[in-house]
Amino acid sequence: MNANHLKSLSSAVLRLMRPLVRLLLRKGISYGTFADWVKWIYVDVAMKEFTISGRKQSTSRVSVLTGLSRKEVKRLTGIPRPDDTERDEKYNRAARVISAWRREREFLDADGNPSALSITGPWATFSEIVRRYSGDIPVRAILDELLRIGAVELLDNGKISLLAKAYIPEINEADKLHILGTDVAHLITTIDHNIRSDSATNTRLQRKVAYDNLPDEALPAFRKLSTKRAQNLLENLDKWLAQHDRDVNPAVQGTGRNYAGLGIYYFEEPYPAEDKNDEN
């Protein structure tokens, strides 16, 4: 890497790390703990993703790639990864249930809004939508999760009413931190792909719109406008993806198994935020 690229990369990493370090300090995470996490992921990525074709990855090669000692590499490869699979599954399945409830005709009323559903019965029910879109997760477990985050409510007649437009954790901070790990990782992966791509036709969408001299009074209206427009776009894309996903539509043909989607996020901050921080 030449000096200009190194300077650009270091500047980008510092910008990336500032909000992350701010979050870590607020949560009481020390540098030592963070450093251990970073060493673990350095070794894990080097071990799994930087192999030489036809050769088994070795401790010595990982040591060279990461700059860590062979002893430290051996120690880190013996430490299990914190397992977040259960939370990831819960997030995905609850999100699919809400999405289908807002999308599929049989679960909508005459005006096209999500119907209040009975838990069981002969017609479109909550149990049926859970069976179709959450796999083998028990109906009660999905219901408890949606009640916990305030996405549904139990009506006096025993039916369940959908309140949310999407799966948005509002109570459990652990769920929000889980989203930090998944959504930011997706964005960085897309940027990394575009950096490595040698063809304009092979790049992935990564755009934003922003202005830097907006008055405070304009922000509430922009938040409302951007939320409404973004939600409408995501709901339309959800309908298209559902038609092509083999879990939702088993009749779909094709090869491979891929994970794809589109993420949208809102941001605002005083300008220039970094200059203010650097004065301290």
Element (H, E) at 235: helix 219-244
Q: What is the reported pLDDT for 280? A: 42
Judged by DSSP in three states, 25 sits in helix
For residue 239, pLDDT over 80 is answered with yes
Query: pLDDT tens across 133-153, in order?
Result: 887 788 998 899 899 888 899
Q: What is the reported pLDDT for 276? A: 45
Q: What is the DSSP secondary-structure string of 39-91? A: HHHHHHHHHHHSPPTTS---HHHHHHHH---HHHHHHHHTSPPP--HHHHHHH
Q: Between 5 and 84, where is the model more confident?
A: 5
Chain mean pLDDT for the chain: 87
Q: What is the reported pLDDT for 2? A: 85
Q: What is the reported pLDDT for 279? A: 43
For residue 225, pLDDT over 80 is answered with yes
Question: What Cα–Cα distance (Å) separates residue 232 from each residue in 225, 228, 253?
Answer: 11, 6, 28
Amino acid letter, residue 71: K
Q: What is the reported pLDDT for 179? A: 77
Residue 149 is given by DSSP the state: T
Domain ranges of the chain: 1-82, 85-162
Q: Which CATH number applies to 85-162?
A: 1.10.10
Element (H, E) at 238: helix 219-244
Average pLDDT estimate for 218-237: 94
Residue 147 is given by DSSP the state: H
As a whole number of angstroms, the longest Cα–Cα distance in the chain is: 69
Q: What is the reported pLDDT for 134? A: 83
Q: What is the reported pLDDT for 136? A: 75
Q: What is the reported pLDDT for 85? A: 54
Q: What is the reported pLDDT for 277? A: 46
Given pLDDT bands bounded at 50, 70 and 90, which one contains residue 90? low
Residue 117 is given by DSSP the state: B
Q: What is the reported pLDDT for 145? A: 84
Instruction: Mean pLDDT check: name the lowest of 69-83, 115-129, 169-183.
Output: 169-183
Cα(97)–Cα(93) distance, integer angstroms: 6
Question: What Cα–Cα distance (Å) separates residue 273 from each residue in 20, 219, 279?
Answer: 15, 17, 10
Cα(206)–Cα(202) distance, integer angstroms: 12
Query: pLDDT tens across 170-194, in order?
Result: 556 777 777 788 888 899 999 999 9
What is the token pair recorded at 195? 């950096």
Given pLDDT bands bounded at 50, 70 and 90, which one contains residue 253? very high
Judged by DSSP in three states, 160 sits in strand
**pTM as predicted:** 0.65
